[in-house]
Amino acid sequence: SKLYELRCDADGIQLMWPLPDHIDSAKVYSVIDVAKDVDGIHYIGQLEIGNKDAYPPVTPAAAFDLMEKFNLDIEGKRVLVIGRSPIVGSPVAHMARERGGAVTVVHSKVPEDTLKDLVGTAEIIITCAGSPGLIKAEWINGAEVINVGTTFIEELDSLVSDVDGDIAKHTSRYSPVPGGVGPLSAPILLRNVAKAAWAQMSTTGAVLENGWERETAKLRKTYHFGTYKEALDAAKKVDELSTVMDHHTNMTFTHKCVNGVDLEMEFFTFEANQITEKDYAAAQAVDELLSKN
């Protein structure tokens, strides 16, 4: 309920991860309007349906800003991403693939021998596990290392990375901990919030690449059919799909005499009174369904 209230008052929403075990994280994150998703929990899904304006997760974006600043070229390189969380490891791997890297993803459950071999052959290592000492510095064979995963150790009164040992001795370059990626996260968040605020003032009526028009609280698209029967058949199929997805569309028919029939589809999430990830998923499903006709 608090998130629903924030949707009307805030330009951006960042929900801290991880959530307590008793909270349904999928349900909570689905409440966050894509237009206000300044920490990119919907980032990968939005890219897949053609929304190239989706905001990237703050920490991964900070890591790639750092790499670009220091001319670390990923294209064609063997990139090892260590970590798979939905807000850091997974988006980092996606971003690295988008930049042409040959990406391998591992995590803390991978056997040590396998992890050691992969670390030894990687040209670029991006650590996102948040597991101190998971990687031994001596396993690294001259790679460039971006330390994203950090953990505060009370006994040391300091942040430490996932790499244990003399990292300077075994790498060609590395980002320090503390420092490095961490201080860049707040400016990236501010940048996302500023973009979100501006976009919400200026994108009412914006049309996405897949033809859906994004309004303040709904998605809208019009399909044209040659006959009324074709339009009715399509509407019936969409209704059946909507029942399966438990997310129904509003449909409006406009008969244009000899010029056929327009069928307008409209999705919005009633409880939130805003566009949610569920609306985008339903819109994509309708496109796929009707493209088969």
Q: Model confidence over 110-131: pLDDT tens digits? A: 999 999 999 999 999 999 998 9
pLDDT in tens, 45-69: 888 888 888 899 999 999 999 999 9
State how far the Cα of 84 lies from the Cα of 113, in Å rounded to an integer. Answer: 19
Quick one: pLDDT band at residue 172, thresholds 50, 70, 90? very high
Distance of CA 230 to the CA centre of its chain: 37
Distance of CA 106 to the CA centre of its chain: 19
pLDDT in tens, 93-112: 999 999 999 999 999 899 99
Q: What does residue 262 show for φ and ψ, rounded to 5 degrees? A: -100, 135
